[in-house]
Amino acid sequence: MSNSFVGARILITGGTGSFGEFAISRFLEDEPEQIVVYSRDEYKQFNLQRKYAGDKRLHFVLGDVRDEARLTDALVGVDVVIHAAAMKQVPACEMNPSEAILTNVLGAHNVVRSCLRSDVSSAINLSPDKATMPGGVYGATKLLSERVFSHGGISQASNLRAASIRYSNVLGTRGSVVEVFEQRLRDGFPLVVFDPRMIRLVLTQDQVVDLACYAFDTMLGGEVFIKDSPALRIVDLAQAMVDVFGSGEVIVKDQDVRAGEKYDAYLLSASEAENTLMTQDGYFVILPSLSNSQRDIYTTHYQQAKAVAVQDYGSSTARLLSKDDIVKMIGGIVQDRTSFD
């Protein structure tokens, strides 16, 4: 629960995506005045309208983050913004870099400018671990979106608090590896892993929403908040999925990773670690680039936090989940999806 949401008007860009759909159910528990679902997918909006039929706190707006005028209209009277809209598929970003820039960078720019015009009090940008030392278009554009929000969050020309949260792979969301593996097992196909060295950091949907709530309640503006995350080998995840389903086969192929992908995942780079604190609650906080006078304000605000003791933080240094750990983690996700079906 976040104190920022009680009695507030909340707008979620990309609100019909996996994060938005899950977050809506969580945020409604905080008794907001209204949740504005802003997205360009009319079919998903239709499905959400049916799901929440009769709940007058939900308001649906069709629009694109590339359209600054539409965003500004939608933000009239809004207090809190969560920017979840993005091009997220790595191959699509690699093949269409200009489109990724327009959505992920210009879109973030439009959100911040519209928030400033509309006197929004606080805004959070969602960003992936691929924004850390990016090796492809998706990560590079999302790193720039973080910088856009950080700049907006430290601007002395407004009262907007803007920051980012950076997190790892979310298990169980649409298009995630769990969903892909699950569908292949249901269809009777083997699970194919292209390189046994592939390791990823993971979180649950609840943990990502918790991270967003923590950022809203804690930020001064300009920070990037990161949740300590465990790691898993993709080959272990595949075998765990087979164990959960009770049937299936895992095939390992020695093949290069696809364009824009990396073997390891990182949430914090060595250069960022120099300007990062670890809070008592177990969150990394990357501070924005500040003048000495501004830095004193942040130092006082985070006086209970400590400088991080790592050079970087990623899948090679994170706690590695065993196959039994993974079975427990994904068992509930698969069970919930099965009972929903």
pLDDT digits over 83-141, tens only?
999 999 999 999 999 999 999 999 999 999 999 999 999 999 999 999 999 989 999 99
Amino acid 179: pLDDT: 85
Amino acid 174: pLDDT: 75
Q: Work out the widest C-alpha separation in the chain, in whole angstroms.
A: 62
pLDDT digits over 40-50, tens only?
999 999 999 99
Pairing mode, if any, of strands 122-128 and 161-167? parallel
Question: Sorting pLDDT into bands at 50, 70 and 90, what band is 199?
Answer: confident
User: What's the rounded mean pLDDT across residues 196-206?
Assistant: 87
Amino acid 261: pLDDT: 62
Question: Cα separation of 43 and 45, whole Å?
Answer: 5
Give the number of other Cβ atoms within 10 Å of residue 17's Cβ: 22
pLDDT digits over 133-170, tens only?
998 999 999 999 999 999 999 987 788 999 999 998 88
Of 183, 177, 13, nearest to 107 by C-alpha is: 13
Question: Cα separation of 321 and 202, whole Å?
Answer: 10
Supply 145's token pair.
């979106």
Helices of type H across 233-303: 234-245, 270-273, 292-301
Q: Return the percent helix, strand and coil in the chain, to nearest 5.
A: 45, 20, 35
* Environment class of 20 (CB within 10 Å of its CB; exposed 0-12, middle 13-18, buried 19+): buried
Indicate if the pLDDT at residue 177 is higher than 50. Answer: yes
Mean pLDDT for all residues in the chain: 90
The angle that helices 42-51 and 18-27 make with each other, rounded to 10 degrees, is: 30
Domains annotated for the chain, with CATH where assigned, are 9-340 (3.40.50.720)
Amino acid 341: pLDDT: 42
Amino acid 258: pLDDT: 60
* Active-site option among 51, 56, 88, 130: 130
In degrees, rounded to 5, the angle at the alpha carbon of residue 57 between the alpha carbons of residues 84 and 6 is: 75
Least confident of 22-26, 205-209, 260-264, 333-337: 333-337
Of 338 and 164, which is predicted with more confidence? 164
Of 123, 201, 202, 215, nearest to 165 by C-alpha is: 215
Amino acid 173: pLDDT: 79
Amino acid 97: pLDDT: 98
Question: Cα separation of 223 and 8, whole Å?
Answer: 22
What is the distance in angstroms between the CA of the first residue and the CA of the last residue of the chain? 29
pLDDT digits over 241-295, tens only?
999 888 888 988 766 666 656 667 899 999 999 899 999 988 999 999 887 778 8
User: What's the rounded mean pLDDT across residues 21-50?
Assistant: 95
Determine whether 130 is an active site residue: yes
